[in-house]
Amino acid sequence: MDKTPAPAKADKKNEKLTGWLGAFVGLTSLGAAWTVINLFRNNFDMLGECGKSSILLKAFCKDITPPLIAEIVVGFIFVALAILAVVLVSKRKKIAIPYVIAFESAVLAWNIVDFAIANAVLGPWAAKTNVNITGTLVVSLVISVIQAGIWIPYFILSKKAKQELDQ
């Protein structure tokens, strides 16, 4: 009888993520990039418009600049948190599961708050200028609801995620 030891399991930390974990890494990375693009496309552009000479625009800028700057700061914080989530899952860290659950919950909560604040602050101005701000906000909110609805249950219930990330 050959009593040679069985080969050791390969170190999974160097293996490529596949399946739902791979999808999480890819989609979260894409979401972080999309957030940065939208911060520049929407928020920075709106701040740039504040130099215009319209009296309506100057009054609007006085009211909107502080919340807009806060939204830019929070947006970059969420991008950093998304990158951290991707790194934790990619490196198969044990803390990844509770971190992702907390991250997705925070993203959903922020999008609900952002929707309410943006409508309250921008709504009156948008009504006077025929600018549709609700469309972008609704899309962000719907995406965050879908994300939370997929990833929170997945990271709570998935045996594969627990096996892969509990090393």
Q: Is position 1 within any domain?
A: no
Whole-angstrom distance, CA of residue 64 vs CA of residue 58: 10
- Based on DSSP, count helices (H) and strands (E) in the chain, helices before strands: 6, 0
Radius of gyration for the chain, computed over Cα atoms and rounded to the nearest angstrom: 21
Q: Which range of residues forms the domain containing residue 38? A: 18-165
Does the pLDDT of residue 163 top 80, yes or no?
A: yes
pLDDT in tens, 128-160: 665 666 777 788 899 999 999 999 999 999 998
Q: Is position 11 within any domain?
A: no
Q: Is position 143 within any domain?
A: yes
This prediction has a pTM of: 0.78
pLDDT at 1: 53
pLDDT at 7: 47
Q: Is position 129 within any domain?
A: yes
Q: Is position 7 within any domain?
A: no
Q: Is position 35 within any domain?
A: yes
For residues 119 and 134, the answer to whether their CB atoms sit within 8 Å is: yes
Q: Is position 59 within any domain?
A: yes
Number of domains in the chain: 1
Burial of 68 from C-beta contacts in 10 A (0-12 / 13-18 / 19+): buried
Q: Is position 127 within any domain?
A: yes
